[in-house]
Amino acid sequence: MKALTFSRFGGAEVLDYIEVPRPSLKDLEVLVEVKAIGLNFADIYRRKGNYHLLGNPPFIAGYEGAGVVLDTNGSSALRPGDRVAFADVPFANAEFVAAPAAHLIPLPADVSFEVAASLLLQGMTAQYLATDSHATKSGEIALIHAAAGGVGQLLTQISRLLGATVIGLTSSPAKQVVSSAAGASAVFLYSESWQNQVREFTGGNGVDVVYDSVGSTLTDSIKVTKECGQIVFYGMAGGNPAPVDPRVLMDGSKTLTGGDLWSYLTSAEKRISRANQLFEWVRQGQLRLEAPTTFQLAEGRQAHEYLESRQSTGKILLLP
């Protein structure tokens, strides 16, 4: 089979689209023919060598996708031809993947492979951030970093569904338009003293919760959080954060919380229930997905470069 691989860490140039052996199935695994793959910043981190990575060279990244079951390997819960999706199956950047049966999510007939691969990882991330990391309450003000990105747009919409007012932070006027379209009440640029603008918007009080996926902005995120507010740190797209003095949190009775999706996808039931909630929100028009940007899997280098360029505002898909 063909797969997008890398054998050393570095920039997009280390990626190679090569022939590798089709995966052999272990107990409780099934074989899935992949139809669409979600590209995420975690794949960039893995390629650079600063994020957890499974396997041996040539490495295959990717955890999110959708496809069709080919070999059930004795699983009674699945049949060949079943349409499935997944958010936490490694080695997904390939034509075929060996997937633990418990990690597969049945795909409703009205949800396409492309929608599933665009929605699950980022949607589940936004979902746990707004409901588990922070229990969003009606009337709160939420500040969302990288608000025009895939997670940012979904987190904006889910926060609004739960009754919060959203402030977005973006890097360009074009992305301000995207964030506003997702439902942000105000969108500020990183280059224009956003900290002062957030304080002014909140009447000097600060926000109830900040969702920080940039990392290098964490100190400022803490500063614009109100007393007894919360900062949720879940990514480092802009670089590692500076060390946090716990006395800063103590003085304002603020809470700093780390977030990682894998902590919440701990059973088949939880995967399916979380996914079905997302599918229903999309079905009811309460979650809107921007049309994805698609690349052939063979064009993986270009896809990685595009994601790193910060030009993208929605999901990037790789198509085998």
Q: How confident is the model over 122-134, as pLDDT tens digits?
A: 999 999 999 999 9
* pLDDT per residue as tens digits for the range 184-240: 999 999 999 999 999 999 999 999 999 999 999 999 999 999 999 999 999 888 888
Q: Is 146 left (phi over 0), alpha (psi -120 to 50) or beta?
A: left
The pLDDT value recorded for residue 76 is 85
| H-only helix segments in 82-149 | 113-128
**CATH 3.40.50.720 occupies which residues in the chain?**
138-258
- Asked if CATH classification 1.20.840.10 holds for the domain at 138-258, the reply, yes or no, is no
**What does DSSP assign to residue 58?**
S
* pLDDT per residue as tens digits for the range 233-286: 998 888 889 999 999 999 999 999 999 999 999 999 999 999 999 999 999 999
The pLDDT value recorded for residue 52 is 79
Cα separation, 239 vs 242, in Å, equals: 9
**CATH 3.90.180.10 occupies which residues in the chain?**
2-120+262-319
* C-alpha dist (Å) from residue 50 to 41, 46, 64, 284: 11, 6, 19, 39
Percentage with pLDDT > 90 across the chain: 90
Q: How many CB atoms lie within 10 A of CB 293?
A: 16
**What does DSSP assign to residue 38?**
E
Q: Topology of 2-120+262-319 in CATH?
A: Quinone Oxidoreductase; Chain A, domain 1 (3.90.180)
* pLDDT per residue as tens digits for the range 70-102: 999 988 889 999 999 999 999 999 999 999 999
pTM: 0.91
**Which residue, 156, 164, 146, is CA-closest to 229?**
164
Indicate whether 312 pLDDT > 80: no
